[in-house]
Amino acid sequence: GNSVTQMEGPVTLSEEAFLTINCTYTATGYPSLFWYVQYPGEGLQLLLKATKADDKGSNKGFEATYRKETTSFHLEKGSVQVSDSAVYFCALRNQGGKLIFGQGTELSVKP
Amino acid sequence: NAGVTQTPKFRILKIGQSMTLQCTQDMNHNYMYWYRQDPGMGLKLIYYSVGAGITDKGEVPNGYNVSRSTTEDFPLRLELAAPSQTSVYFCASSYGETKERTEAFFGQGTRLTVV
């Protein structure tokens, strides 16, 4: 079946630190991969996506590369800001349209 | 453009009561989804639909029912509310025809408490 596993949080960083949030997946076929972000009291919004192997998704300084050989889609940012504090979700969408999420990783950035 | 609209925003139910969570989208999306989010947990897929008249089970469908009679609406029905159904429920929708148009748009959520 399809599943997504993320590193557990919470993750606490100082401003300007480097961020990595690990995500691995299990899927048949060729899924699309996503990172979504959720700010307090809100729904999820798309951060970035990649639709095929070796694609790199990027947005707002965040990046993730679709690695089929390691079934991974790790999220990275070179220098985090206090405003990046949120919960981050890795997700996959299979070819039948089923969209499933990992358990989320809470990020807290301190000034 | 309203996007995905969920009603109500908050609801308290007694054990055994039933209710329908409403979800409507005005983006002409074929795909729609219902999730629940428990405290400190990720989103679990309850049901999804790839078009009007077509629904399928997700990861945690027990205790819920859905229907999709129109492209716009995807209501979620709880028949016999149980405390284990206390959660925040999110509805989402997306296009699906090509991989480039698969971004899901989420509603603001419905916070349900069963007492």
Q: Averaged over B27-43, what is the pLDDT?
A: 91
CB contact under 8 A, B58 and A100: yes
Q: Cα(A100)–Cα(B60) distance, rounded to whole angstroms?
A: 11
Please give the single-letter amino acid code of residue B36.
R
Q: Rounded CA gap, B110 and A10, in Å?
A: 25
Check A99 against B48: CB less than 8 A apart.
Answer: yes
What pLDDT was estimated at residue B1? Answer: 65
> Cβ–Cβ of B43/A97 closer than 8 Å?
no
Question: A7-31 as b/e, with b when 16 or more CB fall inside 10 Å?
Answer: bebebebeeeeebebbbbbebeeeb
- Structure confidence at residue B103 (pLDDT): 87
pLDDT band at B87 (very low <50, low <70, confident <90, very high): very high
Q: What is the pLDDT of residue B99?
A: 64
Nearest C-alpha in A relative to B99: A51
pLDDT at B98 over 80: no
CB of A53 less than 8 A from some CB of B: no
Give the closest residue to A89 by CA, choosing from B1, B78, B41.
B41
Judge whether A46 is closer than 8 Å to chain B, CB to CB.
yes
Establish if A1 touches chain B: CB-CB under 8 angstroms.
no
Contacts of B99 in chain A (CB under 8 A): 32, 51-52
| pLDDT of res. A108 | 96
Q: Does the pLDDT of residue B26 top 90, yes or no?
A: yes
Chain B residues whose C-beta sits inside 8 Å of any chain A C-beta: 4, 31, 33, 35, 41-45, 48, 50, 56, 58-59, 90, 92, 94, 96, 99-100, 102-104, 106-109
Please answer yes or no on whether B108 and A43 come within 8 Å at the CB atom. yes
If you count DSSP H runs as helices and E runs as strands, how many of each does chain A have, helices first? Answer: 0, 12
Residues 6+ apart with CB under 8 A from A4: A23, A24, A25, A26, A90, A91, A92, A100, A101, A102
3-state SS class at B85: helix
Size of interface A-B (CB pairs under 8 A): 62
Residue pair A88/A76 in contact (Cβ under 8 Å)? The answer is no
The pLDDT score that the predictor gives to residue A1 is 82
Q: How many CB atoms lie within 10 A of CB B8?
A: 11
Q: How far is CA A49 from the centre of its chain?
A: 9
- In the predicted model, residues of chain A with pLDDT beneath 70 are none
Gap between the Cα atoms of B49 and B41, Å rounded? 23
